[in-house]
Structure 1
Amino acid sequence: MWRNVRRPWTAGRLYEETLEAAMASRPVDAEARLSSPPRASILLDAEVQPMGPLAPAEDIRTDPATWDPRLERAYYDGDLRAGEAVLELYSRGVDVSRIQRAFSVGAFGLSRLRRMVPTRWSITAVDDIISARLRERIKTYDWIPEHRVYSLEAMGNRWVVLMSPGVWTYESIEAWYPGTTWNPTEDVAFVGDWEGPLGRVGYAGMGGCYYAARLAVTEALERERRQARVLVLREIHRDQLMPLGVWLVRESVRAALRGRPARFDTLEEALEEAGRHLDLPLRFWLRVSETLGGGRQETLSRYL
């Protein structure tokens, strides 16, 4: 059992085996001895994938594994701050999910400050660190030359990403249909957050989904060396039987942005196209949007 997440190495071999699995260059086989029978339950969480029956581990054994040399270098550098390690590993092509896993077990940071953190914290921290750095680069680029609409439908979700010429702003809005996991009511529930050119001051109220989508958006703009105003819209329908974690958000928005967008000269045309990919009337989205509402009432009045 873990006794101190601020000093995880005091758990001895239990921590060493966990670290071995997190740092391995490929998946490893593991065997665990449990201190009690597993509880017959499923853990559902908006940030991470569903987890099956749970039980405390008394001992863990993993097959010998070769560490990823890029992760290993960051681990043994006790003077490298965690944020710097994340950015360096990302620039070296390490997959985001692997960085998040190693971050969770306290593999990065100044030696005296390393600690284990919950998986949900590590996921959001890594998404935030990387996308914040990409955002600062993006703000130095020229604007995209037209309005764009990207769309995707997958796993009970509908996605629309609207990009417009302008100084960087970003907003993400989700609409949870009645009967979905986080909405037991009879009405559609909206949740969203946004940021302007200076970024955010506090943590986004909608949680890790905000930062996961922001990472996908900033990656796409960085590849193009362009700047834009961005609005991400997501409808969650009853077809999504359970939450699958923020990786679904990141990978879905990435997939949408790899597609060919519809391009328009005006925002009005782009909004009409966006509405064709959504079930909810556009007027509902515009009423809750902070970035499309402020300063654009006259332009958008016919949609309200």
Structure 2
Amino acid sequence: MHAIEAMEYLYSRGLEVSAIQRVLSAGLMGIGNKRKFVPTRWSITAVDGNLSKSFISKILDNPSINEIEVYESRQMGNIFLVILAPGDWKYEMVEAWHPHTVWNPFRERIEIGGDYEDRMGRTDYAKIGGCYYAGRLATSEHLMRRGRQAQVLILREAREGYVLPVGVWVVRENVRRALKEKPYKPRNVGELFLYISERTRTPLKMWIRNSKILRDTLYQRRLSQYI
């Protein structure tokens, strides 16, 4: 059984993602002499990336959700807003690192960036690294179980005090936890933007400048005023 098939099989049998990652890291997946030990960091992203790609393939023909849903989780100085919006599958994750955090220890300004894909997927590795794939797994898993598709945006804000890297699991498990809660459902885009402003310290204009999904949403809102 090829490694990707083995990942899907073990997941379908109820094995937790973290356990599948350990199996891959130990070199127990693949065919014959193609089995190899995989560094832990690579195995984590490989499992998140390949499983989420499989989930996405299963949701592309599903009906869209019909209203905006916003989920939230907070842990260890991290704030996660998970925004699901009506439309065909798109996925984006934007991270804002405030001063004196693990990936922004010395500068006095917010460092922000993200990555995006549409239903055609990616051809290169995400600039923000494994966190991107961890979030993609959690959100595509959620939509697959619901039998729906959506535009997905994860906003992650790391605040002062988050000074030790703990691994991409913090993204996967916080997004999963957020998606188990009751969502906030803004009635319009204006309420969505207000909610983002109230729940994070990062200026809204920075989120919009660095998020294709938010920019497109804002453009569509302005366009609708003239139709």
TM-score, normalised to structure 2, is 0.93
1:40-119 equivalences under 5 Å are: 80-119=1-40
The residue aligned with 1:151 is 72
Once the 2 structures are TM-superposed, how far is the Cα of residue 264 of structure 1 from its aligned partner? 2.8
Once the 2 structures are TM-superposed, how far is the Cα of residue 136 of structure 1 from its aligned partner? 1.1
SS in 2 for 1:137: helix
Amino acid paired to 1:137: K
**Are 2:129 and 1:217 aligned?**
no
Q: Structure 2 CA distance, aligned partners of 1:174 and 1:230?
A: 14
Report how many aligned residue pairs link the two structures: 222
SS in 1 for 2:185: strand
1:200-279 equivalences under 5 Å are: 200-279=122-201
The residue aligned with 2:87 is 166
Q: Structure 1 CA distance, aligned partners of 2:161 and 2:59?
A: 36
Note if contact 2:96-2:111 (Cα within 8 Å) is conserved in structure 1. yes
SS in 2 for 1:161: strand
The residue aligned with 1:120 is 41
Once the 2 structures are TM-superposed, how far is the Cα of residue 292 of structure 1 from its aligned partner? 2.3
Q: Structure 1 CA distance, aligned partners of 2:98 and 2:169?
A: 20
Q: What 5-or-longer segments of structure 1 have no aligned partner?
A: 1-79
Q: Structure 1 CA distance, aligned partners of 2:3 and 2:166?
A: 27
Amino acid paired to 1:133: S
Q: Deviations 1:17-61 (Å, cap 9, x if unpaired)?
A: xxxxxxxxxxxxxxxxxxxxxxxxxxxxxxxxxxxxxxxxxxxxx
SS in 2 for 1:204: coil
Amino acid paired to 1:154: Q
1:189-204 equivalences under 5 Å are: 189-204=111-126
Structure index of larger Rg: 1
The residue aligned with 1:284 is 206
Once the 2 structures are TM-superposed, how far is the Cα of residue 122 of structure 1 from its aligned partner? 0.2
The residue aligned with 2:103 is 182
Amino acid paired to 1:191: G
Normalized per residue, which structure has more helix?
A: 2
Once the 2 structures are TM-superposed, how far is the Cα of residue 185 of structure 1 from its aligned partner? 1.2
Note if contact 2:84-2:152 (Cα within 8 Å) is conserved in structure 1. yes
SS in 2 for 1:231: strand
Note if contact 1:149-1:163 (Cα within 8 Å) is conserved in structure 2. yes
Shift of the 132–191 alpha-carbon distance from structure 1 to 2, 3 Å rule, reads: same
Identity %: 44
Q: Over aligned residues, Cα RMSD in angstroms?
A: 1.5
Shift of the 291–298 alpha-carbon distance from structure 1 to 2, 3 Å rule, reads: closer
Once the 2 structures are TM-superposed, how far is the Cα of residue 298 of structure 1 from its aligned partner? 5.8
Q: Structure 2 CA distance, aligned partners of 1:154 and 1:121?
A: 24
Shift of the 279–150 alpha-carbon distance from structure 1 to 2, 3 Å rule, reads: same
Shift of the 295–95 alpha-carbon distance from structure 1 to 2, 3 Å rule, reads: closer
Q: Which has the higher contact order (CA 8 A, sep 6+)?
A: 2
**Are 2:48 and 1:138 aligned?**
no
Q: Structure 2 CA distance, aligned partners of 1:157 and 1:92?
A: 32
Note if contact 2:69-2:185 (Cα within 8 Å) is conserved in structure 1. yes
Note if contact 2:90-2:119 (Cα within 8 Å) is conserved in structure 1. yes
